[in-house]
Amino acid sequence: MSYPLFTLITLYLVDKEILKKPILYLSDFFERNKNLYYDNLTRVRTHNDIKQWLKFFLVGVIETAQSGVKTFDDILKLKQQAELDIQTLGSRAKNAHKVLQYLFKHPLIEVNKIHEILDVSKRTAYNLINDLETLNILKEITGSKRDKLYVFDRYLKLFE
């Protein structure tokens, strides 16, 4: 579904520097409220009632912003908990912390990437993966013996 009016409003807000970037994902709100979306657009066309459309749009902005704040708060809590968990790894904590920082930007990882990030042997990278799996930070998702791919599952679930 396309929401051209939403896109124009968002771009207008960015242009007027009210938003620095088009970070509000209002399409989800409009998709969940599809009937109201079309009813309000029809009301603008049939009754020239732009005020009702703006109220609907602003409710979407508020709900989307509140959801974004909650997600951000959940990310901070997850980061804090993961960092505490990593401290239990003793001398391996420093490398685990570097991998964790990478995972917050790229939540999918393979052993070769850990090997590259840390400049350690593959055996050391595999051992760290095992540690991170034990801490429930990484989860293997391929089910294969070779070329395994791991995901920072708890992080990705925050965006569902």
The two three-digit tokens of residue 107, written as one number? 């939540």
CATH number of the domain enclosing 139: 1.10.10.10
The two three-digit tokens of residue 96, written as one number? 């685990």
Strand segments (E) across 2-160:
108-109, 139-140, 150-151
Distance CA 65, CA 73 (A): 12
Distance CA 147, CA 111 (A): 8
Q: What per-residue confidence (pLDDT) applies to 17? A: 75
Q: Are residues 83 and 149 in the same domain?
A: yes
- Let me know: does 1 contact 31? Beta carbons within 8 Å: yes
The two three-digit tokens of residue 66, written as one number? 């509140």
Q: What per-residue confidence (pLDDT) applies to 147? A: 87
- Let me know: does 142 contact 124? Beta carbons within 8 Å: no
> What range does the domain containing 144 cover?
76-157
DSSP-assigned beta bridge partners for residue 109 = 150
Q: Are residues 99 and 140 in the same domain?
A: yes
Q: What per-residue confidence (pLDDT) applies to 98? A: 97
Note down pLDDT in tens along the chain; length 160 residues. 444 555 666 667 667 776 666 566 788 898 999 999 999 989 999 999 989 988 998 899 899 889 888 988 999 999 999 999 999 999 999 999 999 999 999 999 999 999 999 999 999 999 999 999 999 999 999 988 888 999 999 999 998 8
Q: Are residues 153 and 80 in the same domain?
A: yes
**Structural domain total, the chain:** 2
Q: Are residues 63 and 87 in the same domain?
A: no
Q: Are residues 67 and 81 in the same domain?
A: no
Encoded amino acid at 73, one letter:
D
Q: What per-residue confidence (pLDDT) applies to 19? A: 65
Q: 136: how many CB neighbours lie within 10 A of its CB?
A: 12
Q: What per-residue confidence (pLDDT) applies to 26? A: 80
Q: Are residues 92 and 61 in the same domain?
A: no
> Residues near 93 by Cβ (< 8 Å), separated by ≥ 6?
86, 87
Q: What per-residue confidence (pLDDT) applies to 153? A: 94
